[in-house]
Amino acid sequence: MDPRSLSEEVQEVLTRLIQFDTVNPPGNERALQEWLRGYLEAAGLECELHGAEDARPNLIARLRGDEPGPVLGYLSHVDTVLANSADWQRDPWSGEVREGFLWGRGAIDMKSQTAAEVVAVARLARSGWRPARGELKLMALVDEEVGGTLGAKWLTQQHPDLVRADWLLNEGGGAVMPFGERRLYGVCCAEKGTYRFRVKTRGVAGHASVPGLGENALLKLAPVLERIGASQPEFDITEEPRAFIAALGEDPSDPAGAVSKIREVEPRLAQMVEPTMRVTAVPTRIFASEKINVIPAHAELQVDCRVPPGMSGEAAMQRIRELLGDDSLDVSFIEEVPGNRSAIASPLMDAIADWMGEQEPGAEVVPTVLPAFTDSRWFRAAFPDCVAYGFFPMRHTSLYESWPLMHADDERIDVRDLEFATAFFLDLPRRLLG
């Protein structure tokens, strides 16, 4: 028996993971993955490292049952975004525990989930537990922060049998969402698509000292920016937000009314839910003259556009055109990544709801949509029957508090939530695999 408590062990593991600098780019995740492999093999798991690049291997660890059956997968990524130490209260690479919080880059996104899943699987292995049927598979991958090309994409396309799973748990949900007197825990069942686009305008170049000699293409983008800032596309409500609204007791056929009523109770929840119910278009970059003294003959506005799962590029462009209100504009997609989803009803959803009900009577588990995307998209594309959810239960830090910490200064996690999530990952395999 391990003399450490569950909380002590998962804190130790998360601290160690944060101390590995895996900022992507360049990533350099090998040292971390080698450490994890040693930790898991010592607990009795079968481990393999596979990577498209030697310095960036993916870790797959297994606990196999004696009988064939479903595969439960625990998925996470071990790369992070950049952190500037000068902007933090604590060293972002220390994994320091202070005043009940464990600090560091990755404490929320998402070395915390890696640590919780790893400790849970290791404890199961040390205890002698093995699935009565099927397999428990842990996958700690690289390269998610820049799209997953060397991680989830490469594995699902080049080595699908290695990472195939029937049920999959990843990031994207689980933090409590207080709503009046109710406590909601979201299970991310879908992710919005990414249809980034550009708007180009043309003019006539000239010397900037004599404005009348040219026709400024940049100024022609001003009305476009004003229209995007002043209005939003119509609602395109899909199955997941429809189910969420119904769970709140509101009318899914009246999304505007539902959002208004949600806002009256909890404005922060309305702010998170509304983007999942429509196309969103946010201007982020603009390009014009390369020289400050030249009137630009060409200008380009780039817009980050996210669309509900199930919406096609053609339908997205229709909403974009409606938003811009000018069919003469030169508009084209820069990127087209469809949204993705998994079935809301499943044995995995039932197991999550049962566990949450036992831990916190009265808590409600609800389906949610992630406005962004995760590695789940690659698994859903490769394995259409795979039920992939985002769920890392946190009951002491709400969604309204945790979301702003991702990719931000002073990223940290409440150590009580870290233990709570680890207990979930420890219990779930017994419920699903026997």
Q: How far is residue 190 from each of residues 26, 84, 371, measured CA to CA in Å?
A: 29, 32, 9
Share of the chain above pLDDT 90, in %: 99
Give pLDDT tens digits for 228-244: 999 999 999 999 999 99
Q: Is the pLDDT of residue 366 over 70?
A: yes
Q: How far is residue 225 from each of residues 203, 228, 229, 419, measured CA to CA in Å?
A: 18, 5, 6, 46
Q: What is the mean pLDDT of residues 343-365?
A: 98
The token pair at 327 is 């069919």
Q: Is the pLDDT of residue 380 over 70?
A: yes
Q: What are phi and psi of 361, to 5 degrees?
A: -55, 135
Give pLDDT tens digits for 387-406: 999 999 999 999 999 999 99
Mean pLDDT across the chain: 97
Confidence band for 30, pLDDT divided at 50, 70 and 90: very high
Give pLDDT tens digits for 275-298: 999 999 999 999 999 999 999 999
What DSSP character marks residue 351?
H
The Cα angle at residue 167 between residues 161 and 173, in degrees rounded to 5? 125
Q: Is the pLDDT of residue 1 over 60?
A: no
Give pLDDT tens digits for 160-210: 999 999 999 999 999 999 999 999 999 999 999 999 999 999 999 999 999
Considering the four listed CATH numbers 3.40.309.10, 3.40.50.300, 3.30.70.360, 3.90.550.10, the one that applies to the domain covering 193-236+278-333 is: 3.30.70.360
**Verdict on whether the full-model pTM lies above 0.85:** yes
What pLDDT, on the 0 to 100 scale, is given for residue 2? Answer: 65
The token pair at 79 is 């790369």
Confidence band for 3, pLDDT divided at 50, 70 and 90: confident
Distance CA(204)–CA(212), nearest Å, equals 10
Question: Does the CA dihedral 331-335-336-340 come out positive or negative?
Answer: negative
Architecture of the domain defined by 6-179+340-433: 3-Layer(aba) Sandwich (3.40)
Domain-wise residue ranges, the chain: 6-179+340-433, 193-236+278-333
